A = this chain, B = another copy of it.
């Protein structure tokens, strides 16, 4: 990527730390903002936001960019940095790589007139993040389920990216995998790939019988596992909800029924920060190389 000299990495967690090191080792300068407590590797410059922006060709914001109370998502920062009009203005004429651009625009309308390049909307970002998400889900299952994954009866609801990768890995460990989907086409694929198939709708409606699964991985963001369905699960069952908020599980009902239900969000950054950092970096590199900026 010729003509590029410096990336500013503004905020983020272990993923951004890993990404900073990785970009540095690719031969670029890296200027980091908001990592005072991260113990950054030597070679990575730190600077004020203003200076960092000035000396950089591109700015990279984290995923998510903002906390729920309006600050920059920067857990390793010594101080809190507000994401507001002033923040936006500081980097007004710069090219900015971000995730969930709509959040930034909600935080400051100025962003709507700026050069935002949303890496989180890229297909390869989503596909590649399915791997650490699936591994994180399996890790949680291993921690929480008192039997072995091998030989257990697993249900994966939804056969999108995460459903596909997760089903494959679970089968690779020796689980008995059932996957659910809505469309006949997906049901055909599920069967063809060697899993048992079930229509998602039938999970709720099977009012009579039990739902015989030891471990359930939900990827569908709508309430499937309500009190009725939960009551039909076996006693040692574990549910891991991977769907974005509000998720697909009635956690209160689960608590009452003493069924282990875990909400597992943002797994890539938690379980495989280095891999997750590489995925962000590679997506950004692809965007630069495709010349869409």
Indicate how many identical chains form the complex. Answer: 4
Determine the chain B residues whose CB is within 8 A of the CB of A131 once the complex forms: 148, 150-151, 174, 192
Determine the chain B residues whose CB is within 8 A of the CB of A275 once the complex forms: 146-148
User: Quick one: CB contact mask for A134-162 with B, threshold 8 Å, 1 for yes?
Assistant: 01101100110111111100000000000
- A286, B185: Cα distance in complex, Å: 12
- Given A127-B192, A150-B135, A192-B130: A271 and B142 interface contact (C-beta under 8 Å): yes
Which A residues contact B (CB, under 8 angstroms)? 14, 18, 123-124, 127-128, 130-132, 135-136, 138-139, 142-143, 145-151, 165, 168-169, 171-174, 184-185, 188-189, 191-194, 236, 271-275, 278, 286
- Given contacts A138-B142, A171-B172, 17 further A-B pairs with CB under 8 A are A18-B146, A123-B185, A124-B188, A128-B188, A131-B148, A131-B150, A131-B151, A136-B142, A146-B274, A147-B274, A147-B275, A147-B278, A150-B192, A168-B174, A172-B173, A184-B286, A236-B274
